[in-house]
């Protein structure tokens, strides 16, 4: 009689252990790779998994790759960084709902109709995971500060190129004047005008700078650097673009002195 009872209970106990193991497995897949939808694919929720995966790819890869090009061209961001942040927020919440459902033992395998065995510890871990993820998304600043970070980086590079090009011109024109006592063209002073973001144009007796982008300053904004000889000395005249945003965003950091 005891043997018969044992034979009747052991399979149920084994099945319970298997369900517990599978529940833990699917839960950790959800916690670790939930944003990729791995737990959804494993449990037969293919469409839901594709939703998670596509939103994560768009927000974490496609948008971050697109933003630098948009910023470089000076086009409006249209809130791309905000969209990325919102998408990650949505996926984070959906993953938490899945983890919480697994912890309650209500997460169902759509292929065979089986539910995974949950546990209190799963719900605790799910809550902690949600708090950590939301803290990163909201306060980590990656997505919401993306445009600001790229903008500052591009601004620094443009300012560096502008000032480097002008400094080189002033130096070469000054050396030529010291030797020849006259103002020279690009060819005469040995000035090479190969710079990104700007067209450096020879005025023969001066330098004209035309802006190529439309970022921080209107496209084709003009700076001019014109030297003149006054009382035997070389004097510099600087004309900045009419749009004040240009001088504010891309200041010329020069110490113009008479030669």
Place of tokens 């035997």: 232
Residue 16 in this model has a pLDDT that exceeds 70: no
Amino acid 126: pLDDT: 92
Which of the four pLDDT bands, split at 50, 70 and 90, describes residue 193?
confident
pLDDT tens track for 111-160:
777 788 888 999 999 999 889 887 876 665 555 555 566 677 888 888 99
Residue 55: what pLDDT? 94
pLDDT at 3 over 60: no
Q: Is the pLDDT of residue 217 over 60?
A: yes
**Is the pLDDT reported for residue 9 higher than 70?**
no
Question: pLDDT tens for residues 23-81?
Answer: 889 999 999 999 999 999 998 899 999 999 999 999 888 887 787 777 666 666 666 77
Place of tokens 């003149």: 228
Residue 176's nearest CA partner among 186, 163, 164 is 186
**Distance (Å, rounded) from C-alpha 175 to C-alpha 189?**
8
* Predicted TM-score of the model (pTM): 0.55
Return the SS3 of 233. strand
So what's the pLDDT on residue 23? 85
Per DSSP, what are the bridge partners of residue 224? 208, 239
* Triad 249, 251, 257: Cα angle to 5°: 170
pLDDT of residue 212: 87
Q: What is the pLDDT of residue 142?
A: 54
pLDDT for 153-178, tens place per residue?
Answer: 888 888 999 999 999 999 999 999 99
Note the pLDDT of residue 33. 92
Tokens linked to 31: 């916690």
Q: Which residue blocks in the chain are alpha helix, DSSP H?
A: 2-33, 38-42, 46-57, 63-72, 80-103, 120-139, 146-180, 186-189, 244-249
pLDDT score, position 192 = 85
The pLDDT assigned to 141 comes to 54
If you write DSSP's letter for every residue of 183-251 in order, what string do you get?
---HHHHT-----SSEEEEE-SSSEEEEE---SSS-TT-EEEEEEEEETTEEEEEEE--SSHHHHHHS-
> What are 74-107's pLDDT values in tens digits?
666 666 777 888 888 899 999 999 999 999 988 8
258, pLDDT greater than 80: no
Q: What is the pLDDT of residue 202?
A: 94
């Amino acid at each position: 009689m005891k043997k018969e009872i044992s034979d009747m209970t052991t399979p149920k106990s084994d099945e319970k252990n298997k369900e517990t193991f599978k529940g833990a497995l699917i839960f950790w897949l959800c916690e670790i790779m939930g944003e990729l939808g791995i737990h959804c694919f494993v449990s037969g929720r293919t469409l839901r998994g594709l939703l998670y995966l596509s939103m994560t790819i768009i927000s974490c890869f496609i948008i971050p790759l697109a933003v630098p090009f948009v910023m470089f061209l000076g086009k409006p961001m249209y809130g791309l960084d905000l969209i990325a942040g919102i998408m990650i927020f949505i996926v984070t919440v959906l993953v938490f709902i899945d983890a919480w459902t697994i912890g309650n033992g209500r997460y169902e395998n759509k292929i065979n109709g089986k539910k995974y065995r949950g546990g209190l510890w799963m719900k605790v871990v799910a809550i902690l995971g949600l708090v950590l993820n939301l803290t990163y998304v909201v306060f980590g600043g990656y997505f919401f500060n993306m445009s600001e970070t790229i903008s500052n980086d591009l601004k620094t590079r443009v300012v560096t190129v502008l000032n480097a090009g002008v400094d080189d011109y002033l130096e070469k024109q000054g050396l030529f004047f010291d030797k020849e006592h006259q103002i020279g063209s690009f060819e005469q002073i040995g000035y090479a005008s190969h710079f990104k973001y700007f067209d450096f144009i020879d005025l023969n007796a001066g330098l004209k700078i035309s802006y190529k982008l439309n970022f921080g300053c209107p496209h084709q904004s003009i700076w001019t650097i014109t030297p003149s000889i006054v009382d035997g000395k070389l004097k510099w005249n600087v004309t900045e673009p009419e749009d004040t945003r240009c001088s504010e965003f891309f200041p010329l950091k020069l110490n113009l002195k008479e030669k």
